[in-house]
Amino acid sequence: MEILCGRFTLFATYQYLISDFDIQEMFEEAYYEESYNIAPTHNIVSVINDGTKNRMGYLKWGLIPSWAKDEKMASKMINARSETVDEKPSFKKSFYQKRCIIPMDSFYEWKREGKMKTPMRIKLKDDSLFGVAGLWDSWKAPSGEVIHTCTILTTQPNELMAEIHDRMPVILPKEHQKEWLNPSNQDKEQLKSLLVPFPATQMLAYEVSNKVNSPRNNSAELIQRVI
């Protein structure tokens, strides 16, 4: 099956983001852009902790490990399987040292039915923001430019997602976000215990327009339920 998670939304207000993720250091509000169709290679809002405070910035979606010779692998590194994330050379160092959270208010997935692929929007029932577990790294290009990139962690699907896809992003409950971001936490078993399916009872999925298929389309129309 194709990779997940490959498209999501973030249209919450700047102030809501700051409050909800307890941000103490952030970029200026003028740089914040809401989006209804965030895709790989885009710069995405991300949260890290520097040991004392939560910081919000942009990371390019598609991880390039610091040791990579070029950036070609980024397109294949938009997701990391939580089951093996501590073993894979591309992710292992970041798993222990460079963890992040990617804020979302929903994500899209395509439900296969025969040859048909139906776009679905998946969100929390209460419409609240949620944080997805991620990893980040910094890569120095031959030009000398340093590029900061990230990947999204996936896990087994819950009952809701199993009807749509065989994977789902790791949504971290509020009470687990601080543990995940804490850079001094390198307890493999404890960290991996956080990478589990979010309760299906708190989530909702519905069909949306095929217009979401193209990242060029980006408007509130994309999140409307198809009736």
Phi, psi of 174 (to 5 degrees): -50, -40
Q: Is 28 a catalytic site residue?
A: no
Neighbour count for residue 183 (Cβ, 10 Å): 14
Q: Is 5 a catalytic site residue?
A: yes
Q: H or E element: which one contains 143?
A: none
Instruction: Sort 70 into a burial class: Cβ within 10 Å, 0-12 / 13-18 / 19+.
Output: exposed
**Which residue in 5, 29, 71, 150 is the catalytic one?**
5
Please measure the distance between the N-terminal and C-terminal CA atoms of the chain and give it in whole angstroms: 27
Spatial CA neighbour of 118 closest among 126, 128, 110: 110
The owner of tokens 């999204």 is 152
Q: H or E element: which one contains 108?
A: strand 106-113
Spatial CA neighbour of 109 closest among 122, 128, 100: 122
Retrieve residue 224's tokens. 């409307």
**Which residue in 25, 33, 109, 189 is the catalytic one?**
109
Integer Cα distance of 84 and 213 in angstroms: 30
Per-residue CA distances from 144 to 20, 55, 70, 72, 138 (Å): 35, 24, 12, 17, 12
Q: Which residues are catalytic?
A: 5, 109
